[in-house]
A and B are shown apart, each in its own frame.
Chain A
């Protein structure tokens, strides 16, 4: 069974940085695109960022573009999200999620077939 375990969530002040990690197991991580999706009471579920299986393409929601950076290390079966210049509205549970498609070359038509349990990011002054 696919396992995705997020970590790195914490309480942070506005303007600070956090780095989230997602450890994957029980599947060939390097063959799948990966994404971060966040969920907050006020904004519901929101796609944040995605990266193709080979890191050739990345993309971001407009709300985080220029502040967040997604990356992956296929040798370590890990996905990352570097979150800089945090804002109050970034507070949410952050899930890593797998793209259903094997080796998709684009970040489009995304269906999320496996999700981690999430890690909580709280941004507060």
Chain B
């Protein structure tokens, strides 16, 4: 079974530029998450989708961050305009709806550097 795919793996941009990240979850996983992991910290949830609907975006800085999940499969996360403090690894995770563990499976992440 293929894992969660993310691209690009690395991105360097200047502040005030825009950037987009892409995530393809494990096939059949209805729930998709985006996390931000700042160096030296644990991942922090930005947004949670179930199919193509938003379940929780309470920690998403909506003035600059946006995310969508068209057709309930792939998702994109966009930052516009980027700030220096957005430098982090952006992790995508997915989980299936069935089963008792509700375990989340993480992708390799996109490392963003804002200069």
Mutual binders A and B: no
